[in-house]
Structure 1
Amino acid sequence: MPTFKSIHTAHGLQRMAAAEAAGQPINIVEMAVGDGNGNPVDIDDQADATGLVRERFRAEINRVYADPERDNRYSAELIIPASVGGFTLREIGIFDEQGGLFAVGNLPETYKPSDSEGAFADTVVRFEFLVTNASVVTLQIDPNVAVATHTWIINNVTMATLLPGGTTGQIAKKASNADGDIVWSDPDDINITVNTIDEEQTLADSQTLVDLAVVTTRGLAVYVDGLRLYEGAGANRWQKAPEPDSVTRIVLGQSYPGGTKLIAAQNEPTGFAPSPLERSKNLSDLDSRPAARANLDVFSKAETRHMAPSGMIAHFARNTAPTGWLKANGAAVSRSAYADLFAAIGTAFGAGNGFTTFNLPDLRGEFLRGWDDGRGADGGREFGSSQAGELQSHAHQGSAGSAGAHAHTGTAATAGSHSHGATTGLSGHHNHRLSGQAAGGGGRGLDDESQGSGWSSDRIEAAGNHTHSVSIGTGGAHTHTVSVGSAGTHNHSIEVEATGGSETRPRNMAMLGCIKF
Structure 2
Amino acid sequence: MHRIDVPSATADHQFTEGSPAGGVPATTVSAAWLNDVQEELINILAAADVAPVKGEQNQVLQALQALIAAGQQSNAGQVAWFAVKTPPAGYLKCNGLTIGKPGSGATAREHNDVFALYVALWNDWSNDVLAIQTSGGAPTGRGPSAQADWDALKRLPLPEIRGEGIRAWDDGRGVDAGRQFGSWQGGQIESHGHSASSGGSGSHSHSGTAAEAGSHNHLEGHSLKADIVAQYGVGGTAASGSERTGTNQAGQAYTSTGGLHSHSLTINSAGDHSHTVGVGNTGGNETRMRNIALSAFIRYL
Q: Which has the higher contact order (CA 8 A, sep 6+)?
A: 2
Return the TM-score normalized by structure 2: 0.48
Return the TM-score normalized by structure 1: 0.30
